[in-house]
Structure 1
Amino acid sequence: MAQRFDYIVVGAGSAGCVLASRLSEDPSVQVLLLEAGPPDRSIWIHLPIGYGKTMWSKRYNWCLHTDPDPNMNGRRIYWPRGKTLGGSSAINGLIYIRGQRQDYDHWAELGNSGWSYEDVLPYFIKSESNERGASRFHGGSGPLKVSDIPHKDELIEAFLDGAQEIGVPRTADFNGQEQEGAGYYQLTTFKGLRCSTATAYLRPARKRANLTVHTNAQATGVILDGNRAVGVNYLRNGQANRAELNANGEVLLSAGAIYSPQLLQLSGIGSAELLQRLGVPVVVDLPGVGENLQDHLQIRLGFECTKPITTNDALNTLWGKMRMGMQWLMLRQGPLAVGINQGGCFMRALPGEAATPDIQFHVATLSADMAGGKVHPYSGFTFSVCQLRPESRGYVRIKSADPLVTPEIQPNYLDTDLDRRTTIAAVKAARQIAQSSAMRPYVKREVKPGPDAETDEDLLAFSRDTGATIFHPSGTCRMGPEGDPMAVLDAHMRVRGVQGLRVIDASSMPTLVSGNTNGPIVMMAEKVVDLIREERQG
């Protein structure tokens, strides 16, 4: 006999852990949480700097690649995605950014009632426990721990001074009244350890008798009775399983921007033309499923430093590694406790066109050929720049009715003129800061793109040759108003044309937020739980 539940949550990531925790607060309901990956037991998950290891771990990471992107010289780009309790919040760079007020006001303007900035701010506050305490913009008692970087860094200070020289003011809070500025990031850490959603939300909830958590359990499809979701099929440790819903129960997909649309398509919900071509019976013709894929494309500029003060220097010697280890063991401080990107800025690369910041910097006190790669043998640091609101749109489409076949992932980076111009301007802005009087004493040479890259055409070619994801794929099951033929969800994140089925994760975003996505996804899950409760009571 299949087990029966009131809520089946598919995916224990940034949204799924929140949903499972909050819904199971009601002892009268039964909640099942399915996670395709294993438990989050690795020390490399919990050490903030450990994502250099989990970035490549096939145990904790889906280790996806895009299909060849014609705009990126046919390159297949590596897309790490979390596959453990906490999902990508267990392997990400820990940066806590909400995006801009205008992002959410735009969602509301698109016809998504209840998603304006003033509507969502209470849920950001509810979710957050900021070490600075409660305020107009911040929470002091929520599950998700948000911490300051405890010590100033010489290189980061030089970067912040250099940003000021080109007109970007210092800010102490990217998530306050205004995002624009340069400063230190706050991180989802607590006492030198990562605070994933599994740590923040799921761990305290595991003791509840009404919450069942199955790891190594990959969903293979939603079970439908006509147009109602009635359960989920899944493989657990390679064995077929089935979980069914009680009357009026719901399936909540939180499998992320790749796997949520895949699960819908495998279940007969998606473009009829695509499904018929692959022999999948069509239940609901929703052409927007898998479309509207958006991501932040990061361009990494690498520099050799004049001083041995970088994390490269610590990682390249036995003494340096021992010193880092002792700092963490004795004080819960140092590079192991703060990850890789400590500071950054939000600014306008095209000030004549952008009313708010259109690019973001991540500044790392180390350098490598790619994010999470082996550090260079010299003293090095990195400026990563990305366009915040790309116009380019890609897609995710199943290639087979077999749920174990990875879908086609086509980001279509740099597909529009604005995206190309903004990216070129972002690289130029990074060079301006590197050439400022504050930064010059630290720059021995620009390693990448290097002095031979001079023209706009050179910088665009460099971006096509080396650009990579900054890990924020979104939009593939977007919410939108009734009259929008490409909208997959309504404003309560219910799948159109299907009862008892929602999607709550980055795929639900109509447009990508201006910054890192973990915090916004936590907010979205908090808000949807309230919507579910209101509907259940009403």
Structure 2
Amino acid sequence: MASKLSDDKKTSVLLVERGEWDTDPFIYNTSDWYYHWGMNPTPLYIHKYFGESEPRLNGKKPINLLSNMVGGCSSMNGMVSNSGSFIFDYEKWGEITGAKENWSGEIAKGLFKEFLDDFPIYFENRNRTWLNEIGQAIERSLGYQWNRDGYIHLDPSGYSTKQFWMTPMQRRISPYSQLLKDSKALETRCNLNILVNHRAVKMEYASNWKRQVVVTGVWIQNTQTKKRWFIKVRKEVIVSMGAVETPKFLQLNGIGDKGRLESLGIPVVVDSPGVGRNLQDHTEVFYLGRSVARSLVNITYTIRNSVIDGYTIFGPRNASTQGHKYLVNIDIIQRVGYVPTFACNIESNRPESRGYVEINSKDPLADPVIFTNYYSDPRDLEYVILGLQECVQVQEELTKMGVLDPSTPIPLGPQSTRSDYTNYIIATSMTDYHLSSTVRMGHSKDPSSPLDGNLQVKGLKNVRVVDASVFPFIPGANLATPLSLLSYQAAKLIKKSTTSN
């Protein structure tokens, strides 16, 4: 968004980044990203959030991650890009907000074309080892058909190889690297400044002649020296801190539930009870099944460690126009020191369960309370069971084809009961790191939505939110691409607003 806004030389943009520059070589190394960021995160670049105990997951406390580097989470995520159901999402958002001029299926198509022009998304080669066999098993056991251009045409029906934010040479792509760093935009745009190792802590308010509350400036703090600076605001403040930090920042600045804020001694600027509510996340269940037949063990190939690439299925099969409820990633993975093994991960795409994010302190450095409330709506569990059953069906078909070893012990198989599936899901469910929807946009007359259809904070004249927190409901896809489309549209809305004013 900073790149798109600073296209106009008359517009001055200051981007305040909490983290470091992207100097760590592991940022762009795709081969062992999961070990570096997921299993062994570096505190310099990653901040861990510990969620509340989940009552339906035997009290487990989910751990979520915040990226402390330029580019945000796109500099340390799994690099997966899928189209999900963008057209469905944008149509529904237009209905929910009453702003169909901003959010519609046709607008989504146009934004996606812009996105593809900017980002050379990498498509996995279908001829890679095992993919032909897996594709045959999917078609025979589940009836899904190959959909090579589903991503391009925003049609997630059928099954297809995965798409990645990386080059064919296996180098990570992020919005920062593609639009600012590698394009040399930072070197040529005097109207764009990036300030690293700083965080916004406090907004200053005043009233204009129309008696509207206006933010006149923002106090920012150096994360290393703790020194504070005051930044005067000429036009707008755009909050892009993510689904945890954005509601926290707004609540600390008097925008939230009146009773909660008063109990903490925070002066109320806007009584907005929806701030921090409506938290949604994609749960993920990882399944490791049968190993490859012994006669085929010596067939090896290169794969990104600890990642299921291969094929993606959006299910159920008849839901292409209604928004898919789950996805299944299927592959045979090659782990160092192990026999190649059949694997899936199942993601709850359209969760009905809702949680919350709320502060319990006035300290801007204290983490908020995060309660994701997984599976509080029983429909979410049902859809994950369906996805896991499809995974097992493909496993059994590959066994019949002679690809997998039938003697391998497996956690789930043809004889497994519903109770077996439920217990497996409860034991293995975790976050897919897709927290969203905590400062959702809605209709201008809806008191429960903190934002209107222009992404503006209701009750404030010149503050918008542009990040994963604004979605009325979580997109049915990995969030990197939906967030890019959102940023493109937000830049258009901001330019239109500042031009008209």
TM (normalized to structure 1)? Answer: 0.83
SS at match of 2:309: strand
Would you say 1:75 and 2:60 are equivalent positions? Answer: yes
Would you say 1:460 and 2:448 are equivalent positions? Answer: no
1:171 partner letter: N
1:242 partner letter: W
Moved more, 492-501 or 54-63: 54-63
Would you say 1:164 and 2:146 are equivalent positions? Answer: no
Would you say 1:342 and 2:320 are equivalent positions? Answer: no
Aligned residues: 481
Would you say 1:25 and 2:7 are equivalent positions? Answer: yes
2:259 partner letter: E
Would you say 1:147 and 2:122 are equivalent positions? Answer: yes
SS at match of 2:216: strand
Give the CA deviation at 1:99: 2.1
2:303 partner letter: P
1:276 partner letter: E
SS at match of 1:299: strand
How do 1:115-126 residues align onto structure 2 when only pairs under 5 Å count?
115-126=103-114
**Judging changes above 3 Å, is the alpha-carbon distance between structure 1 residues 49 and 391 closer, same or farther for their aligned structure 2 residues?**
same
Equivalents in 1 of 2:410, 2:95: separation in Å? 41
2:155 partner letter: E
**Judging changes above 3 Å, is the alpha-carbon distance between structure 1 residues 452 and 277 closer, same or farther for their aligned structure 2 residues?**
farther
Give the CA deviation at 1:387: 2.0
1:476 partner letter: T
Equivalents in 2 of 1:217, 1:381: separation in Å? 44
Give the CA deviation at 1:169: 0.8
Q: State the match for 1:133 in structure 2.
A: none
Q: State the match for 1:254 in structure 2.
A: 240
Q: State the match for 1:359 in structure 2.
A: 326
Q: State the match for 2:156 in structure 1.
A: 179
Structure 1: tracts of 5 or more residues without a match: 1-18, 129-140, 315-319, 325-333, 369-374
How do 1:82-231 residues align onto structure 2 when only pairs under 5 Å count?
82-100=67-85, 101-113=87-99, 114-128=102-116, 141-142=117-118, 144-150=119-125, 152-165=127-140, 166-175=142-151, 176-190=153-167, 191-203=169-181, 204-207=184-187, 208-225=189-206, 227-231=213-217
**Judging changes above 3 Å, is the alpha-carbon distance between structure 1 residues 57 and 173 closer, same or farther for their aligned structure 2 residues?**
farther
Equivalents in 1 of 2:450, 2:298: separation in Å? 49
Q: Residues 293 and 393 of structure 1 are in contact (CA less than 8 Å); yes or no, is this contact kept in structure 2? A: yes
Of the three residues 361, 379, 390, the one matched with 1:418 is: 379
Give the CA deviation at 1:469: 1.3
Q: Deviations over 1:157-205 (max 9, x none)?
A: 3222221111111111332152111121121112321111110122132
Q: Deviations over 1:130-175 (max 9, x none)?
A: xxxxxxxxxxx32x22122246322333222221111111111332
**Judging changes above 3 Å, is the alpha-carbon distance between structure 1 residues 526 and 308 closer, same or farther for their aligned structure 2 residues?**
farther
Equivalents in 1 of 2:52, 2:319: separation in Å? 35
Would you say 1:398 and 2:353 are equivalent positions? Answer: no
**Judging changes above 3 Å, is the alpha-carbon distance between structure 1 residues 453 and 256 closer, same or farther for their aligned structure 2 residues?**
farther
Q: State the match for 1:131 in structure 2.
A: none
1:335 partner letter: I
Moved more, 194-203 or 175-184: 175-184
Q: State the match for 2:340 in structure 1.
A: 379
Q: Deviations over 1:470-493 (max 9, x none)?
A: 121110110000222211111110
SS at match of 2:130: helix
**Judging changes above 3 Å, is the alpha-carbon distance between structure 1 residues 383 and 189 closer, same or farther for their aligned structure 2 residues?**
same
Equivalents in 1 of 2:485, 2:324: separation in Å? 22
Equivalents in 2 of 1:405, 1:307: separation in Å? 52
Equivalents in 1 of 2:367, 2:400: separation in Å? 44
Give the CA deviation at 1:532: 1.0
Equivalents in 2 of 1:401, 1:518: separation in Å? 31
RMSD: 2.7
Q: State the match for 2:37 in structure 1.
A: 54
**Judging changes above 3 Å, is the alpha-carbon distance between structure 1 residues 172 and 151 closer, same or farther for their aligned structure 2 residues?**
closer
Structure 2: tracts of 5 or more residues without a match: 208-212
Would you say 1:296 and 2:296 are equivalent positions? Answer: no
Equivalents in 1 of 2:431, 2:410: separation in Å? 17
Equivalents in 1 of 2:408, 2:71: separation in Å? 37
Give the CA deviation at 1:122: 1.1
Give the CA deviation at 1:265: 0.7
Q: State the match for 1:36 in structure 2.
A: 18
Moved more, 204-213 or 266-275: 204-213
Q: State the match for 2:492 in structure 1.
A: 530
**Judging changes above 3 Å, is the alpha-carbon distance between structure 1 residues 408 and 433 closer, same or farther for their aligned structure 2 residues?**
same
Would you say 1:241 and 2:228 are equivalent positions? Answer: yes
Equivalents in 2 of 1:453, 1:291: separation in Å? 41
Give the CA deviation at 1:446: 6.6
**Judging changes above 3 Å, is the alpha-carbon distance between structure 1 residues 351 and 447 closer, same or farther for their aligned structure 2 residues?**
farther
Equivalents in 2 of 1:150, 1:450: separation in Å? 29
1:231 partner letter: G
Q: Residues 289 and 477 of structure 1 are in contact (CA less than 8 Å); yes or no, is this contact kept in structure 2? A: yes
Equivalents in 2 of 1:441, 1:433: separation in Å? 13
Equivalents in 2 of 1:25, 1:115: separation in Å? 23
Equivalents in 2 of 1:470, 1:181: separation in Å? 23
Equivalents in 2 of 1:308, 1:45: separation in Å? 37
Q: State the match for 2:210 in structure 1.
A: none
SS at match of 2:4: helix
Q: Residues 237 and 463 of structure 2 are in contact (CA less than 8 Å); yes or no, is this contact kept in structure 1? A: yes
TM (normalized to structure 2)? Answer: 0.89
**Judging changes above 3 Å, is the alpha-carbon distance between structure 1 residues 446 and 36 closer, same or farther for their aligned structure 2 residues?**
farther
Equivalents in 2 of 1:535, 1:432: separation in Å? 52
Q: State the match for 1:436 in structure 2.
A: 397
Equivalents in 2 of 1:308, 1:438: separation in Å? 12
Equivalents in 2 of 1:377, 1:440: separation in Å? 22
Equivalents in 2 of 1:457, 1:159: separation in Å? 27
Give the CA deviation at 1:34: 1.2
SS at match of 1:427: helix
Equivalents in 1 of 2:266, 2:417: separation in Å? 49
SS at match of 1:335: coil
Q: Residues 5 and 13 of structure 2 are in contact (CA less than 8 Å); yes or no, is this contact kept in structure 1? A: yes
Equivalents in 2 of 1:446, 1:170: separation in Å? 29
Equivalents in 2 of 1:464, 1:349: separation in Å? 21
SS at match of 1:511: coil
**Judging changes above 3 Å, is the alpha-carbon distance between structure 1 residues 505 and 353 closer, same or farther for their aligned structure 2 residues?**
closer
Q: Deviations over 1:287-310 (max 9, x none)?
A: 111111111111111124225899
Q: Deviations over 1:508-533 (max 9, x none)?
A: 11111111111111111111111111
Q: Residues 156 and 363 of structure 1 are in contact (CA less than 8 Å); yes or no, is this contact kept in structure 2? A: no
**Judging changes above 3 Å, is the alpha-carbon distance between structure 1 residues 446 and 180 closer, same or farther for their aligned structure 2 residues?**
farther
Moved more, 197-206 or 516-525: 197-206
SS at match of 2:356: strand
Q: Residues 86 and 197 of structure 1 are in contact (CA less than 8 Å); yes or no, is this contact kept in structure 2? A: yes
Equivalents in 2 of 1:119, 1:309: separation in Å? 52
